[in-house]
A and B are shown apart, each in its own frame.
Chain A
Amino acid sequence: DAKTTQPTSMDCAEGRAANLPCNHSTISGNEYVYWYRQIHSQGPQYIIHGLKNNETNEMASLIITEDRKSSTLILPHATLRDTAVYYCIVPWGNEKLTFGTGTRLTIIP
Chain B
Amino acid sequence: DVKVTQSSRYLVKRTGEKVFLECVQDMDHENMFWYRQDPGLGLRLIYFSYDVKMKEKGDIPEGYSVSREKKERFSLILESASTNQTSMYLCASRKGTVFNEQFFGPGTRLTVL
**Chain A residues in contact with chain B, CB under 8 A?**
32, 36, 41-46, 49, 87, 91-102
Structural contact, A98 and B59, CB atoms closer than 8 A:
yes
- Is the beta-carbon distance between A43 and B40 smaller than 8 angstroms? no
Instruction: Give the distance in Å from the alpha carbon of A26 to the alpha carbon of B103 in the complex.
Output: 27
| A60 shortest CB reach to chain B, Å | 14
Q: Is the CB of A94 within 8 A of B90?
A: no
User: Which A residues touch B4, using CB under 8 A?
Assistant: 43
Min CB–CB distance A57 → chain B (angstroms): 12
The answer to whether B101 and A46 have CB atoms under 8 Å apart is yes
Interface residues in B58-72 (C-beta closer than 8 Å to A) = 58-59
Are B58 and A96 in contact, with the CB atoms below 8 A?
Answer: yes
8 sample A-B contacts, Cβ–Cβ < 8 Å, listed by A number: A42-B107, A43-B105, A46-B102, A87-B43, A93-B98, A94-B99, A96-B33, A100-B42
Residue pair A95, B50 in contact (C-beta under 8 Å): yes
**Which of B43, B48, B101, B107 is within 8 Å of A99, CB to CB?**
B43
Of residues 14 to 44 in B, which have CB atoms within 8 Å of A's CB atoms?
Answer: 31, 33, 35, 40-44
Q: B92 contacts the other chain (Cβ, under 8 Å)?
A: yes
Please report which residues of chain B, range 99-113, place their CB below 8 angstroms from some CB of chain A when the two chains form the complex.
99, 101-107
A57 to B111, CA, bound (A): 39
Residues from chain B with Cβ under 8 Å of A43 in the complex? 4, 90, 92, 104-107
Other A-B pairs beyond A41-B106, A98-B59, 17, CB < 8 Å = A32-B99, A42-B104, A42-B107, A44-B102, A46-B101, A87-B42, A91-B99, A93-B98, A94-B98, A95-B31, A95-B98, A96-B48, A96-B58, A98-B45, A99-B35, A99-B44, A101-B42
Give the residues in chain A near B42, CB-CB below 8 Å.
87, 99-102
